[in-house]
Structure 1
């Protein structure tokens, strides 16, 4: 719906204030030791999740979280905090490179253009970022330190005794490469031929790439891998001290997948090799009737018999195109092939067949399972399909007999298991584990579903690894040679094979006569793992973050540093987990002062299109904030984003809703301004210096209290509702006390900063008490005494019909209330010729006079 006439001249003053804030450095945060730093103020670090600057620019869904953090940042400044509120760009990665390949432009050109557009859009909404701290992951001054952190990972190991990362020099073993936190491994990976790169498991959805939706296949490749699994226990346990949504904590815990059980050694019939199996139910060992190896397990090729070779090879090719999700949670039917080999069950000497099946994954446990079909649903389905033995070894605790026609997965009493016969499950687990250890055929252990992080990408547009190869061995590039930038290339298309595009830059690759550079690049996640630290000290040329700045902004000694981190739930097991891992390594090595990066996490809900579907270019339901700003102004956009409903909930976009808050801002404007006959605006003559009445004081202080508490509680929509109530109370009053604007404009300024600062400046020309800006004042404080109600208003009825209203002191005695009601002229007229039978009083609400 087009607006016929502007409620207020936002197009004139919004750009003016945006430029003035920039010119004045209004939101600059000084570091300790810098001019303007006030050590007496508390600090508050509020951060948005690092945006990727796409070619499409922002849509209104992106604006929601940014508006919420901006309200908090402005609110905290008004309450006397030193506030760090920065912005930057996560600008490496596949989308930029894909676009560059498509258009023939260098990804640096398109990335810089996209960044310029994003910056301009964010500034047009009036966000109070400290633009002097702006960073980009593609800036060599930034990725120098990303590469430096990688070298710290490369030159560190996880000491299981101290449960900490330590310099590799402290490792006393013979092969340091076997324990490095950054190591080389040839293993099955997710290879995407269309994108020409390896993808992490988290970047594959239903067997297709998250970017572009291209098919992904499994193939063995040499990769750089980060040993995140070493930190699995800490990544779970150290969630407890964080103020995060419980759902996000649970997602991380489930992704890490901690499980206690036993590692058991099965012998191979006719061979000296053994198979290690992890099981969470060692009490069911006597019911193991076959083994299953993942198709990628190194022993599959070795143990497969000649008769089964063709079938096994064909099955492995079939499985290669499936994602882990398709192989496990989405699999509707169990598939597998017998290898022809047999294992020996170590607890009873039983000869059991070895199969390969895709419902077993190499990344979990040992890539081999003992199948107990009587007590595991997946094993039961498999055994039933392939007619394998089903041996019950746990009976229900109620004494009933197990039914082999169905699976029993619960706890109960051990049966058909000599060493633990008759024991309840919990005791049976402990007894059989001790028995295995005593016999030397197994031991208790803890396993994790989490796998080490595949860190190589076969792309051009990413951070090159600071690694050299010589005589088949790798070594670190000297730190003095950082940053290591990509070579200038005209052809940065994928090679069509796992050989990365950088391999084409032969002069760059050849470091010396004998040494060659690593040609893989780091994933996009590398730069976003630590950007919150660089924001603390972005211009430091000597260190990735200065000690004093990091100690101050990250709250040295406390669990987590960033006071408020806002972003989407889609990053629960990607960015958030990766950043916590890097942070813990840097903490262990003594480079930073907190063990966690983000103390409080808030996830905003999704803004849906007007059609109530997820906003996307393909659906054609994307709403561009530029068009909303052009028609209604940035303050209206900000206000509507917060007025739609609770921050954490998803809600559909409505232009009628935008117009509603726009009209509210028009009423705020008319509290102070009046349109002249010439079509200009002038301060309203109704505005005067006058004391507020008790009723007016009550609504103003109720508004201070409500807005303050609601911002603290992230209830932005109800804070706005209260400001609407306050505005409606005064907009038609004449005379109108200017004092109300000294309070209301400060309360409104975090939400609608342009109109607040503009009205403040206009009023300063006529009235005292309007120094500076609305956005730089002290936050108002409410007085509970003004909130106390001293009078009561009654509706007065005669025989149930409304006749008048009566205001009396709240503590007036009943006889006084009755007398006052009977004295009202309209009541006396209604009682003419009648006799009052009784008077019914509902305290503080209603007086009903019954007369005949």
Structure 2
């Protein structure tokens, strides 16, 4: 064993050993209990960042811990490799997305291996490989057969810069989630997955996922958005047509005075009179530039335009003007809202702005509301008024009575509505999975026959960055014969949303080389569901919801049996760092700041707040540089020690150096004590100091085990190991108890193994073990070693601490009481007073009341 800790040499040696021996390769042929640990796979951007380091270090601790506990651990890695960044980079740099992507994968694979993560690299997959996406095409065809995939014309979120459609979940604050461009509304023919067919099952499932964080489940419940109410038909004046609304407040129907339609409603232009056409078209153009989710915000200014048409309230028979309103969405309900200004705040504001009638139909108990003097809508409960035969009823009772009345009269019916909309999966870009559909003028949309799969993404497509799908300009790709009639036809040129690939990759990891189907049922039955999934909460209503939906579809297609993909979910916090900037040169990388000044101009650098590490603000740390200086184990240790996994981690250079010093202390502790612990220790009693060290050794095993197992309190587990190292350094009776010292040192190494595996393996071998630490198993604690011979008791006099006594651990109450009263310091505070009461709290405290 070398005296000096050489992180680079140690880590290189063990990484090569693990690769040569395929240490982490697993199969379902095992008598061990399975444990499937998975982190969300990365997009191959070309470089890993500190967020990757933290996320994958968290997962690796759990994987290694479970492996040491005797589990058969599946811990795979792959690449979410399709998507717009590769295509944009290809356009920018004049390369091909496939070349750019595979070069990035190779680079990131090297970086991840350098971190020492325990992946089964034999299961590696990339979603851009035809051997992966061909099976996705087959899944699509099966969904198409069952009506779960369909095409329709709809208004969609359109990013003008990325030149593609975005799902609702991919629009953030009116902007594209990738490029921050302002999103527009555009009508296109699009492919959809019928996720709404599974809305109730997805909602019910949130109550059966106790291993998921409640905030994620709440976000999914709100996104699914189940509501119960009524569908009601409002006849159009002068027409046989009707406007159908969905409402949860049928008790307010008698107060409906106008109708609000979504600007995207199919009747919007049809109902527009000639006199109103100019105003309506200007309004539609304005709303078309607004994000749909932003339009529902409470603080949004309520705007609309009169169509010129009227509908009839089916219970009051009053004429109701039909407006288009910016706060009504086609994506919710029917895209039409009966407006009740006195009992809905949005309608109240809208009616006030456009001078529309207000009618009170619910009076709060003990009050009389006047529509002319109301300052806001009354949305609480009360007694029905101006509501015909329902007057005098409590409004909650009236809801049921009115719902029954509507059904009897054929005006409406009870129904359930969901906020969740079907998932639009068409994307007008090249670098994605081709949708396997052919269009024939005679036969219509024809699925590509299974025997003709895969539809391979061509490599000779010209990428210009201009609008529309580049595939549409590839004649060889587009022009084909119809599989049904043989006549000339054309391929679909849209590709799948990349979230489709990430919705089932976890299942393919169970059988990455299976040649006969997307999923090997036998392998899936063994490995699925994923026991522990790790990733960011930002995916709560995108990837995580889509993965749950896809799992249920794959189950119903007979490809696997599980209902949910992930039994437990850990959402890790972000890695944050203060920003630095120069008034002249803008954002600065950390290495561009020297002695507090900009390295370009020498002006003082401005220190900003701690924010998520991002290349745009240059507050990033290069993991390779960190490894070069300190080693991968130090990088891992800091990312795990600086904050609990679910909290944000604030980058701290001093913290990194502290972790490096600690690993050097551990190395030195083993090196310095190797000559001593080679000696054998004769059986017999050990001294008091040795008992204390042994007690702390076993306490540490217990605490670290409990902190890791299910709780993931890695920071407190590491802190406990640090305390044990301090105790070893303070231990004086080394020659008298070498076995106790060896046990302490070996325990430190074994407990550190999941966190810093390279140095742990090296020290384990240095301690004289022939087999790798990986085969030693996880240490267990001895309950008898935790029992203390003596305990420290705090003594209070009139509520203030006045002394501390040491008593035998098994001392009875009378002995403790007497010892407390006889303590010299306690007696000083009892002088001249009489003891009125003594309370003994076993093992902790003696409270004396004196006066």
Under TM normalisation by the shorter chain, which class is it?
A: 0.7 to 0.9
CA contact (8 A) 2:261 2:325 kept: yes
Cα distance 1:818–1:401, how it changes in 2: closer, same or farther (>3 A)? closer
1:294 counterpart (237, 262, 273): 262
Looking at structure 2, the residues matched to 273 and 814 of structure 1 have their Cα atoms a distance apart, in angstroms, of 88
Cα distance 1:772–1:217, how it changes in 2: closer, same or farther (>3 A)? same
Residue 732 of structure 1 and its aligned partner are, at CA, apart by 4.5
CA contact (8 A) 1:261 1:282 kept: yes
Looking at structure 2, the residues matched to 620 and 477 of structure 1 have their Cα atoms a distance apart, in angstroms, of 47
Aligned residues: 781
CA contact (8 A) 1:419 1:432 kept: no
Cα distance 1:671–1:312, how it changes in 2: closer, same or farther (>3 A)? same
2:34 counterpart (23, 27, 43): 43
Looking at structure 1, the residues matched to 844 and 412 of structure 2 have their Cα atoms a distance apart, in angstroms, of 78
Residue 255 of structure 1 and its aligned partner are, at CA, apart by 0.8
Task: Tell me what 2:438 maps to.
Answer: 468
Looking at structure 2, the residues matched to 70 and 198 of structure 1 have their Cα atoms a distance apart, in angstroms, of 36
1:746 counterpart (747, 750, 755): 750
CA contact (8 A) 2:216 2:540 kept: yes
Alignment of 1:651-690 (within 5 A): 651-674=649-672, 683-685=674-676, 688-690=679-681
CA contact (8 A) 1:756 1:775 kept: no
Task: Tell me what 2:463 maps to.
Answer: 492
CA contact (8 A) 2:536 2:571 kept: yes
- 1:419 aligns to 2:389 (yes or no): yes
Looking at structure 1, the residues matched to 417 and 145 of structure 2 have their Cα atoms a distance apart, in angstroms, of 26
- 1:717 aligns to 2:703 (yes or no): no
Cα distance 1:814–1:396, how it changes in 2: closer, same or farther (>3 A)? closer
Q: Which runs of 5+ in 2 are unaligned?
A: 482-486, 579-608, 796-802, 825-830, 847-851
Please identify, of 332-341 and 567-576, the stretch whose mean Cα deviation from structure 2 is larger: 332-341
Task: Tell me what 2:604 maps to.
Answer: none
Looking at structure 1, the residues matched to 75 and 314 of structure 2 have their Cα atoms a distance apart, in angstroms, of 61
Residue 812 of structure 1 and its aligned partner are, at CA, apart by 6.5
- 1:8 aligns to 2:12 (yes or no): no
Looking at structure 2, the residues matched to 11 and 465 of structure 1 have their Cα atoms a distance apart, in angstroms, of 47
Looking at structure 2, the residues matched to 598 and 147 of structure 1 have their Cα atoms a distance apart, in angstroms, of 24
Residue 326 of structure 1 and its aligned partner are, at CA, apart by 2.6
Task: Tell me what 2:514 maps to.
Answer: 540
Looking at structure 2, the residues matched to 795 and 238 of structure 1 have their Cα atoms a distance apart, in angstroms, of 51
- Aligned to 1:51, the other structure's residue is in SS state coil
Task: Tell me what 2:178 maps to.
Answer: 211
Residue 306 of structure 1 and its aligned partner are, at CA, apart by 0.7
Task: Tell me what 2:782 maps to.
Answer: 783
Looking at structure 1, the residues matched to 624 and 95 of structure 2 have their Cα atoms a distance apart, in angstroms, of 26
Residue 495 of structure 1 and its aligned partner are, at CA, apart by 3.9
Task: Tell me what 2:472 maps to.
Answer: 503
Residue 117 of structure 1 and its aligned partner are, at CA, apart by 1.8
Residue 492 of structure 1 and its aligned partner are, at CA, apart by 2.2
Looking at structure 2, the residues matched to 621 and 136 of structure 1 have their Cα atoms a distance apart, in angstroms, of 30
Cα distance 1:806–1:431, how it changes in 2: closer, same or farther (>3 A)? closer
2:638 counterpart (628, 632, 640): 640
Residue 61 of structure 1 and its aligned partner are, at CA, apart by 2.0
- Aligned to 1:743, the other structure's residue is in SS state helix
Looking at structure 2, the residues matched to 327 and 604 of structure 1 have their Cα atoms a distance apart, in angstroms, of 31
Residue 602 of structure 1 and its aligned partner are, at CA, apart by 1.0
Alignment of 1:451-462 (within 5 A): 451-462=421-432
Cα distance per residue 1:199-225 (max 9 Å; x no partner): 111111222211111222111111111
Alignment of 1:368-517 (within 5 A): 368-401=336-369, 404=372, 405=374, 406-471=376-441, 473-496=444-467, 499-512=468-481, 513-517=487-491
Cα distance 1:101–1:422, how it changes in 2: closer, same or farther (>3 A)? same
CA contact (8 A) 2:183 2:290 kept: yes
Cα distance 1:332–1:363, how it changes in 2: closer, same or farther (>3 A)? closer
- Aligned to 1:599, the other structure's residue is in SS state coil
1:249 counterpart (217, 228, 250): 217
Task: Tell me what 1:762 maps to.
Answer: 766
CA contact (8 A) 1:790 1:810 kept: yes
Please identify, of 402-411 and 372-381, the stretch whose mean Cα deviation from structure 2 is larger: 402-411
Alignment of 1:112-191 (within 5 A): 112-156=102-146, 180-191=147-158
- Aligned to 1:302, the other structure's residue is in SS state coil
CA contact (8 A) 2:436 2:447 kept: yes
Looking at structure 1, the residues matched to 287 and 819 of structure 2 have their Cα atoms a distance apart, in angstroms, of 89
Task: Tell me what 1:304 maps to.
Answer: 272
Looking at structure 2, the residues matched to 814 and 420 of structure 1 have their Cα atoms a distance apart, in angstroms, of 73
Cα distance per residue 1:298-333 (max 9 Å; x no partner): 111111111001111111111111111232216531
Cα distance 1:808–1:450, how it changes in 2: closer, same or farther (>3 A)? closer
CA contact (8 A) 1:667 1:731 kept: no
- Aligned to 1:570, the other structure's residue is in SS state helix
TM-score normalised by the chain length of structure 2 = 0.87
Alignment of 1:819-834 (within 5 A): none
Looking at structure 2, the residues matched to 471 and 333 of structure 1 have their Cα atoms a distance apart, in angstroms, of 47
Cα distance 1:348–1:730, how it changes in 2: closer, same or farther (>3 A)? same
Cα distance per residue 1:550-586 (max 9 Å; x no partner): 11111xxxxxx11111100000000011111111111
Task: Tell me what 1:160 maps to.
Answer: none
Looking at structure 2, the residues matched to 260 and 359 of structure 1 have their Cα atoms a distance apart, in angstroms, of 21
| CA RMSD between the two structures | 3.1
Residue 661 of structure 1 and its aligned partner are, at CA, apart by 1.7
Looking at structure 1, the residues matched to 393 and 218 of structure 2 have their Cα atoms a distance apart, in angstroms, of 32
Looking at structure 2, the residues matched to 150 and 277 of structure 1 have their Cα atoms a distance apart, in angstroms, of 33
Task: Tell me what 1:279 maps to.
Answer: 247
- Aligned to 1:147, the other structure's residue is in SS state helix
Looking at structure 2, the residues matched to 841 and 366 of structure 1 have their Cα atoms a distance apart, in angstroms, of 70
Task: Tell me what 2:590 maps to.
Answer: none
CA contact (8 A) 2:575 2:612 kept: yes
Looking at structure 2, the residues matched to 811 and 187 of structure 1 have their Cα atoms a distance apart, in angstroms, of 77
Residue 817 of structure 1 and its aligned partner are, at CA, apart by 10
Looking at structure 1, the residues matched to 4 and 392 of structure 2 have their Cα atoms a distance apart, in angstroms, of 82
TM-score normalised by the chain length of structure 1 = 0.87
Please identify, of 487-496 and 248-257, the stretch whose mean Cα deviation from structure 2 is larger: 487-496
2:536 counterpart (547, 568, 580): 568
CA contact (8 A) 1:492 1:502 kept: no
Cα distance 1:651–1:488, how it changes in 2: closer, same or farther (>3 A)? closer
Task: Tell me what 1:525 maps to.
Answer: 499
Task: Tell me what 2:827 maps to.
Answer: none
Cα distance per residue 1:752-787 (max 9 Å; x no partner): 1011100111222xxxxx231112212111111110
Residue 794 of structure 1 and its aligned partner are, at CA, apart by 8.8
Please identify, of 80-89 and 476-485, the stretch whose mean Cα deviation from structure 2 is larger: 476-485
1:110 counterpart (97, 100, 104): 100
Looking at structure 2, the residues matched to 780 and 6 of structure 1 have their Cα atoms a distance apart, in angstroms, of 27
CA contact (8 A) 1:144 1:484 kept: yes
Residue 729 of structure 1 and its aligned partner are, at CA, apart by 1.0
Residue 813 of structure 1 and its aligned partner are, at CA, apart by 8.7
Residue 685 of structure 1 and its aligned partner are, at CA, apart by 4.8
Please identify, of 730-739 and 258-267, the stretch whose mean Cα deviation from structure 2 is larger: 730-739
2:526 counterpart (546, 552, 557): 552
CA contact (8 A) 2:358 2:371 kept: no
Residue 354 of structure 1 and its aligned partner are, at CA, apart by 0.4
Residue 649 of structure 1 and its aligned partner are, at CA, apart by 1.1
- 1:356 aligns to 2:324 (yes or no): yes
Q: Which runs of 5+ in 1 are unaligned?
A: 32-36, 157-179, 555-560, 675-681, 765-769, 797-803, 828-834, 848-852
- Aligned to 2:98, the other structure's residue is in SS state helix
Residue 493 of structure 1 and its aligned partner are, at CA, apart by 2.9
- 1:589 aligns to 2:584 (yes or no): no
